[in-house]
Chain A
Amino acid sequence: MREELAAAIREALEDGAAAAVFLTGEDGTAEPRVARDPSDAAIEKVATGDERYPMAGFVMMLSPLLEGGIAVAGRECDRRMFVELAKHGQVDPDRIRFIGIPCSQELADACGCDHPCPPDSIVACAAGPAQARLVEEATSEDAAERFAFWMDSFSRCIKCMGCRNVCPMCYCKECALDNLELVGPESAPPDIPIFHLIRAVDMADHCVDCGMCEAICPAEIPLRSLYRQAREVVKEAFGYEPGVNPDEKSPIEKLGEVSDLAGMEEGFRTT
């Protein structure tokens, strides 16, 4: 796959893309690189293993510094990040040329990912969708058990802000987690559960389920399960899934029509 990927990156640069963004290195030690010249030796070292990186966040930071098109080699979750960021005006989709890397079956299984194949994958994608799971404790029938599990998980938090900083959807210049009125500044373990629930509320209609937050969390808080639950809430209530349809706006971000409220609760009937 490395040859095809390197060729696709070179081709994009020759076609007039101002820069190409990709990961280099061996499995587990990948780093993001920017190449501006098709003869750049780094292109030959493009990573093809199971390493992951929030490419869209990187490109979002980079794009104001560059002019012209940017070719990005990424996975399906990266592509969804671009779809979602473009909806919010954070990247210009016309500038992005996406080179899709298929995930391996092992990676799809490890991520519990139901979308391992980008639609325009450079080589045939062999991986089948895996079941998106929650951690077992989060699925307990007993609400008190679930609550105790989450409070116990949250209490391990060291407020490193890694989940927010790695998250491609966390592009706000002013973050509610930095608001001293909402989250008290006085303790390193943050106020729980508000610290984690603020993020969960926002992730409900933004999260593309890339799982970088959980991968980076030093306290091993099962954040992916938390945000999957939040995503599920929005999917169930409004049939909306972030990162899928570039033309569909989040139902929570628009006022919408009264028909959007139909069936939500009896009390919402208009008379």
Chain B
Amino acid sequence: MTNETIEDTTEKPAEVADDDVRILAFLCNWCSYAGADLAGVSRMQYPPNVRDIRVMCTGTISPYFVLKAFQEGIDGVLIAGCHIGDCHYGKGNYATAKRFRVLEDLLTSIGVDPRRIRLEWVSAAEGAKFQQVITDFTEQVRQAGRSPLGRKGGGQA
């Protein structure tokens, strides 16, 4: 995956209001992307604020990618992958869990609202959970407001 993908994804979806939040979701190919697909084919409704990037495993997500997303003006970043123990590469999501913990705590310590970043485990069978996660997270990021991190941002920390 290249950073161009992140930049392409930071464009505001047409159906989202100008002052509404934009969210980037990194979805693992095997579980969460399939879970999103299941939500889609089941016609479950969820907010249109989320753009997603499919990755082969959440373990491939460098913290740099999350920082880059914020730098591009994204207001919230969701990482969703297989449940612990279900990773199709064995332990890929162990790396995700640990990196996420460091990134989340580091961002919090410099004063970034921790509501802007979230890690969830969504399996391929959990379409309803995917819908719930997106709905909850969008609401959570809305409460945090537009992100002040990016050059295109502006609002409250």
What is the interface of chain A, defined by CB distance below 8 A to chain B? 138, 140, 143-151, 176, 179, 181-182, 191, 193-194, 197-198, 200-201, 204-205, 226, 229-230, 232-234, 236-238, 251-252, 255-258, 260-261, 264-265, 267-271
Contacts and interface: CB of A to CB of B under 8 A. Distances in A.
16 contacts: A146-B111, A148-B157, A149-B111, A151-B148, A181-B3, A182-B68, A193-B67, A194-B67, A201-B67, A204-B106, A233-B109, A237-B102, A255-B94, A258-B94, A260-B98, A261-B97
A208 to B, nearest CB: 17
B84 A197 contact: no
A264 B71 contact: no
Interface string B122-157: 000000000000000000000000001101000011
Interface size class on chain B is 35 or more
A149 B151 CA distance: 17
Contacts of A260: 94, 98
Contacts of A268: 84, 97
Interface in B1-51: 2-4
Interface in B61-107: 63-64, 67-68, 70-71, 83-85, 90-92, 94-95, 97-99, 101-103, 105-107
Contacts of B63: 201
Contacts of B94: 255-258, 260-261
A267 to B, nearest CB: 6
Contacts of A145: 111
Contacts of B102: 201, 204-205, 230, 233-234, 237, 252
Given A201-B63, A255-B95, A271-B85, A147 B71 contact: no
Nearest to A258: B84
B75 to A, nearest CB: 14
Contacts of B91: 255-256
A229 B102 CA distance: 11
